[in-house]
Amino acid sequence: MLNDSKIEVANMALKRPSMWLKTGICAIAIYVFAVSAFFASPSAQARELVTMEKSYPLGAIVIINSERRLYYSLGNGMALRYKVAIGKEGFSWAGESFVQSKRKNPGWSPPPAMRRRSPYLPVYMPPGPKNPLGVRAIYLGWSEYRIHGTIDPNSIGRAASSGCIRMLNSDVTDLYERVHIGAPVYVIR
């Protein structure tokens, strides 16, 4: 049964159609956002826009080993945060470097120390679905370490590598498109 207050609200709505339009648009936007978030790939959900306690230069990469997270600085204390795998015990490191080069579908030559530990490794592995660097590699300036994709997505979030920073292939592709040669890289314990 309609009471006076419901009739009054209905009359107001009829007099103000823009209210219905705004309400409808908001409802549709919320629905689209909720559905897209639900069906988004896990890797897309892994990337987050966050604020950082410390401000870093625009375009800098900051890796915090204890969090197993990589931050791409957007400036003004904002960053994109990605989940990563870091070096296993005895292989993780901290320091500063820079982006020396970038490669799509990189080949892989295991460093001599890695081949001594694992003699079955090939001298060179061409790009492809079995290449442990995944689909992109970002080479750092002063070491054999890289930020790269992976063929083992279950390693993300763990201390699992021989010192390189592993990312989901979709995340390293996203970072690859954003980061520039010469960008500073900070690796923090």
48 with 29, same domain: the answer is no
C-alpha radius of gyration, the chain, whole number: 24
Q: Are residues 18 and 62 in the same domain?
A: no
* Lowest-confidence pick of 6-20, 69-83, 84-98: 6-20
- 26 and 63 share one domain: no
DSSP codes, 88-130? PTTT---EEEEEEEEEES--B---HHHHHH-TTS-S-B-SSTT
Q: What CATH number did the domain enclosing 172 receive?
A: 2.40.440.10
Q: Which pTM value belongs to this model?
A: 0.76
In the chain, the number of structural domains is 2
172/99 same-domain check: yes
For residues 42 and 47, what is the distance between their CA atoms, to the nearest angstrom?
A: 9
Domain that holds residue 13: 4-39
Instruction: Identify the burial level of 185 via C-beta atoms within 10 angstroms of its C-beta, where 0-12 means exposed, 13-18 middle and 19 or more buried.
Output: buried
Residues 147 and 181 in one domain: yes
Q: How many CB atoms lie within 10 A of CB 91?
A: 14
Do 67 and 150 share a structural domain?
A: yes
Task: Give the Cα separation of 61 and 81 in Å (integer).
Answer: 10
For residues 101 and 149, membership in a common domain is answered with yes
The confidence score (pLDDT) of residue 15 equals 57
Residue 41 has pLDDT above 60, yes or no: no
Least confident of 31-40, 87-96, 116-125, 173-182: 31-40
Give per-residue pLDDT as tens, 10-23. 555 555 555 444 54
How far, in whole angstroms, is CA 103 from its chain's centroid? 17
Model pLDDT, residue 142 = 79
Whether residue 153 sits in one domain with residue 84:
yes
Verify that 13 and 76 share a domain, yes or no.
no
79 and 136 housed in the same domain? yes
In terms of domains, do 99 and 13 share one?
no
Q: Let me know: does 158 contact 68? Beta carbons within 8 Å.
A: yes
* Interval 148-185: pLDDT, tens: 999 999 999 999 999 999 999 999 999 999 999 999 99
- The residues that are catalytic are 148, 164
Domain check: are 76 and 161 in the same one?
A: yes
User: What is the C-alpha to C-alpha distance for residues 158 and 85, in angstroms, rounded to an integer?
Assistant: 5
